[in-house]
Amino acid sequence: MTSDRPQEPSTHAERARPRRGRQAEAARNDTAILEAARATLLRDPEASMAAVAQAAGVGVGGLYRRYAGRDELLQQVCGDGLRRFVELAEQSLADDGDAWSSFETFLRRVVEADVHALTVRLAGTFRSTGELRDLAARSGGLVDALVRRAQAAGRLRPDVEAADVPMLLEQLTAVRVEDPERTAALRRRYLGLHLDALRAPGPSVLDATAPTGAELGERWARSH
């Protein structure tokens, strides 16, 4: 006599298929959430979790199951940006060719990837973490190495400091129009002007010193 009960999968692979499907769906949802968060928060840094969920096409409950709160979501989004920034800097440092070319390529790739815009927009709006602070320190060290190498080669003006780079990138991320392709083109235009000013020998003496670490950090400080 046979049982009407559904048969259990006979192999481990068969048992794993439904779980892999759920995991794949969860991964797709998480990608959609992060992409929606980036786009939504670039438009409005104060956007609510509900606005992010709506943009991602998921329920608010589903969003909160993945991220316990707004701080956690923003930590993930900014962490992704910092990790990409570090990756691009490491790639440029690994290039042992022309030092100026490596420095220029790094800046162009960062601007193209638009990884700096969101961190600037969200600075000081959420609680940081030890990991984010470590990533920020790592990124600063890599930029310093790129700057010093270009200066040692006599290709980057000597009065430029690593702390000038995030300020330069912040100026470029302020360039934004409705058309994303036009935004990218305008940023490339103004980056070209910046690069001309950075090449050695410098055309003039800069009017002020580079920002201090405290000045850079105060934008991330969050009052309680």
Secondary structure of 128-191 as H, E, C letters: CCHHHHHHHHHHHHHHHHHHHHHHHCCCECCCCCCCHHHHHHHHHHCCCCCCHHHHHHHHHHHH
Superfamily of domain covering 68-217: Tetracycline Repressor, domain 2 (1.10.357.10)
User: What residues contact 145, with CB distance under 8 A and at least 6 apart?
Assistant: 93
Element (H, E) at 206: none
Residue 196 confidence (pLDDT) above 80: yes
Give pLDDT, residue 204: 61
129-156 pLDDT, tens per residue?
999 999 999 999 999 999 999 999 999 9
- Number of Cβ within 10 Å of residue 37's Cβ equals 26
Mean predicted confidence (pLDDT) in 39-68: 91
Residue type, 192: G
- Work out the mean pLDDT of the chain and round it to a whole number: 85
Residue 223 confidence (pLDDT) above 60: no
Residue 9 confidence (pLDDT) above 60: no
SS3 7: coil
User: In Å, what is the CA distance from 55 to each residue of 30, 113, 208?
Assistant: 13, 21, 43
Which is higher by pLDDT, 212 or 74? Answer: 74
Q: Which residues of 159-196 are buried (b: 16+ CB within 10 A; e: fewer)?
A: ebbbbbbbebbeebbebeeeeeeebeeebeeebeeebe
pTM of the model: 0.79
Cα separation, 39 vs 170, in Å, equals: 18
The tokens of 105 are what? 């390529």
User: What residues contact 7, with CB distance under 8 A and at least 6 apart?
Assistant: none
The tokens of 167 are what? 């300020």
Domain boundaries, the chain: 68-217
Tell which residue, 88, 89, 82, has the closest CA to residue 146. Answer: 89
Give pLDDT, residue 118: 81
Confidence of residue 199 (pLDDT cuts 50, 70, 90): very high
74-114 pLDDT, tens per residue?
999 999 999 999 999 999 999 988 999 999 999 999 999 98
Residue 24 confidence (pLDDT) above 90: no
3-state secondary structure string across 83-136: HHHHHHHHHHHHCCCCHHHHHHHHHHHHHHHCHHHHHHHHCCCCCCCHHHHHHH
- Measured in residues, the chain has a length of 224
Residue 89 · residue 146 · CB < 8 Å:
yes
Query: Token match 């993945």: residue?
Result: 66
Residue 70 confidence (pLDDT) above 70: yes
